[in-house]
């Protein structure tokens, strides 16, 4: 529940004669985004490096070659994920800032139009028009920019995700995730290293799939199975390619 929806409900409850106690809640959006970047970074590190080391292990039994390929993949992926998160979040932040600039101009030139827009959004949620008008009036009086931006663009103008935080988390989480397949493929006996790596990676992907579902509040079993399927497909494809060049 975002802060503006909570405020609307508080106003409506007061209007209906209800009594509630206002509680100050700290937004978790930034923490959730950082956690998301962490889980996704680790997940990508597991899948990407697992695919690399299994492909190389299918082509050669040389442990040194397998380890070097894994380390190279981890380093490349770490930089790629770090810069990708930075660019992605920076682009999102720039778009949000532009939306805020545009909305400030609309409020200065068409305040009533924006007021009516917010009221209509509440009425579309089956709120009585009179109550919707009162809620809009209170929110627009308190924070007109925040109220309109939330309803028109769907984000809180006071709650930006830091591109630096997302980049740093990815920089750390990707190589952390990549450690598992590298350790599994180098520590397991030569005859079993591929299957041992696949099993270890599969377990790890089930865990990251579960964590991603918890953060996204989605179906956990479906997320785990989807994540495992993606990993198995990746490892299966690279294994077959490695077999084509096996010596």
Q: What is the pLDDT of residues 119-148, one digit of tens each?
A: 898 888 888 888 988 888 988 888 889 888
pLDDT surpasses 90 at 221 = yes
Read off the pLDDT of each residue in 208-231 and give the average, rounded to a whole number.
89
**pLDDT number for residue 163:** 86
**pLDDT number for residue 29:** 65
pLDDT surpasses 50 at 110 = yes
At residue 28 the predicted structure's pLDDT band, cuts being 50, 70 and 90, is: low
Question: For 16-30, 63-77, 104-118, 204-218, which range has the lowest pLDDT when averaged over its residues?
Answer: 16-30
pLDDT tens readout for residues 48-107: 999 999 999 999 988 899 999 999 999 999 999 899 989 988 998 899 999 999 999 989
**pLDDT number for residue 231:** 92
Question: For 8-12, 53-57, 141-145, 175-179, which range has the lowest pLDDT when averaged over its residues?
Answer: 8-12
Other C-beta atoms within 10 Å of 16: how many? 9
Give the 3-state secondary structure percentages of the chain, helix then strand then coil, rounded to 5.
80, 0, 20
- Mention every residue, 6+ apart, whose C-beta is less than 8 A from residue 73: 48, 49, 52, 53, 178
pLDDT surpasses 70 at 27 = no
Give, as one character, the DSSP assignment of residue 233. H
The percent of residues in the chain predicted with pLDDT above 70, rounded, is: 87
Q: Output the six-digit token pair for 197.
A: 């790596």
* 36 against 9, higher pLDDT: 36
Q: What angle do CA 169, 173, 179 make, to 5 degrees?
A: 160
* 28 against 59, higher pLDDT: 59
Largest distance between two CA atoms of the chain: 80
Read off the pLDDT of each residue in 155-184 and give the average, rounded to a whole number.
88
Q: What angle do CA 51, 55, 61 make, to 5 degrees?
A: 130
Q: Output the six-digit token pair for 56.
A: 């190389």
At residue 1 the predicted structure's pLDDT band, cuts being 50, 70 and 90, is: very low
**pLDDT number for residue 76:** 94
Q: How far apart are CA 231 and CA 35, in angstroms?
A: 21
Q: Output the six-digit token pair for 52.
A: 């690399």
The candidate with the shortest Cα–Cα distance to 227, out of 247, 201, 246, is 201
51, 230 contact by CB (below 8 A): no
**pLDDT number for residue 216:** 77
Range list of β-strands (E), the chain: none
Q: Output the six-digit token pair for 202.
A: 């599969």
pLDDT surpasses 50 at 3 = no
Q: Which pTM was predicted?
A: 0.72
* 209 against 215, higher pLDDT: 209
């Amino acid at each position: 529940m975002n802060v503006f929806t909570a405020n609307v409900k508080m106003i409506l409850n007061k209007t209906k004669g209800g009594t509630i106690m206002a509680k100050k809640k700290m937004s978790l959006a930034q923490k959730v985004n950082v956690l998301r970047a962490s889980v996704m970074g680790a997940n990508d590190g597991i899948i990407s490096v697992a695919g690399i080391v299994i492909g190389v292990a299918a082509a050669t039994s040389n442990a040194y070659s397998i380890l070097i390929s894994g380390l190279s993949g981890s380093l490349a992926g770490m930089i790629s994920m770090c810069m990708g998160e930075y660019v992605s979040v920076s682009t999102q932040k720039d778009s949000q800032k532009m939306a805020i600039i545009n909305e400030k101009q609309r409020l200065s030139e068409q305040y009533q139009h924006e007021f009516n827009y917010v009221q209509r959004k509440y009425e579309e949620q089956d709120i009585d028009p009179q109550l919707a008008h009162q809620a809009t009036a209170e929110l627009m009086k308190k924070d007109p920019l925040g109220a309109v931006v939330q309803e028109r663009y769907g984000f809180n103008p006071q709650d930006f995700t830091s591109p630096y935080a997302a980049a740093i988390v990815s920089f750390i989480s990707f190589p952390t995730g990549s450690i598992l397949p590298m350790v599994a493929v180098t520590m397991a006996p030569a005859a079993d290293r591929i299957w041992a790596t696949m099993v270890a990676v599969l377990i790890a992907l089930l865990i990251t799939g579960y964590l991603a579902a918890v953060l996204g509040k989605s179906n956990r079993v479906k997320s785990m199975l989807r994540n495992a399927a993606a990993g198995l497909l990746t490892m299966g494809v690279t294994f077959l390619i490695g077999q084509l060049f096996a010596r």
